[in-house]
Structure formats: C-alpha cells, structure tokens
C-alpha cells in the first residue's frame, strides 16, 4: 500500500472524505480480497480507481481485477488523472449519481 496519494487521488479524496459527498462514506486504499482499490463506498457497492500512467502498462491486470470485483457485485468507476484535475465538479456529480443509483442507498449509508 502506498502511504502517499497522487495529486489526483488527493484532489478527489478532498471531495469524498468525511462523508462530504451527500453523506456517503468512502474508504481509501481499501483491501478487497487481496486487491487494493483507491476508493470504496460499501453502501453503494462502488469502487473508484484513479488511473495514472502505470495503468496503460497493466491493462490485463486491471481487467482481471475489475472482473473479479464485478463478479462480487461491485461497480468499478475508472477516472483519469486529467479528468479529475480538469473537471473535479463533474467527477463529483458523476460519483454521486452512481451512489444514488441503488434504490436503498440512502438507508445503507
């Protein structure tokens, strides 16, 4: 596990931490069956991955991991560093929309 977040992860974390996104609780660098995901909201079953340059070199690993997480009922939302830096408000709205897609997500927080 990395102790330091990338600048894009840090920017996103400031919007997700401490239930700032409409009360949804996110964990960062959550371990799920041996995989470390960047951010995870259990109530929404949502994994958020911030993809930097390294992800262009590990596409097969990412695909395998995404398939595993999806087979466990989780949704995986991948975001580029550039998208986070240039459109953090749109990113936050998109994440909130995903969290609220589940009919009982408000009661599971």
What's the pLDDT tens digit per position in 10-36? 999 999 999 999 999 999 999 999 999
Looking at residue 53, its pLDDT comes to: 67
Stated pTM of the model: 0.87
The reply to whether 71 falls in a domain is: yes
CATH (domain of 93): 3.40.960.10
Check residue 109 and give its pLDDT. Answer: 47
Q: Helix 88-100 and helix 7-16: axis angle, to 10°?
A: 50
Sheet arrangement for strand 27-32: 27-32, 35-41, 46-51, 75-80
> Looking up tokens 């589940």, which residue turns up?
102
User: Which stretches in the chain have pLDDT values below 50?
Assistant: 105-109
In a domain, 57, yes or no: no
pLDDT confidence of residue 55:
55
The domain of 33 spans 7-52+63-100
């Amino acid at each position: 596990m990395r102790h330091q977040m990338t600048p894009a992860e840090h920017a996103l974390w400031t919007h997700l931490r401490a239930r700032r996104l409409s009360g949804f609780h996110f964990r960062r660098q959550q371990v799920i069956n041996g995989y470390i995901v960047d951010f995870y909201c259990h109530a929404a079953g949502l994994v958020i991955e911030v993809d930097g340059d390294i992800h262009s070199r590990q596409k097969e690993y990412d695909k395998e991991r995404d398939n595993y997480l999806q087979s466990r009922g989780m949704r995986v939302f991948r975001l580029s560093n550039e998208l986070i830096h240039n459109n953090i408000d749109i990113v936050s709205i998109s994440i909130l929309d995903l969290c609220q897609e589940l009919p009982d997500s408000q009661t599971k927080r």
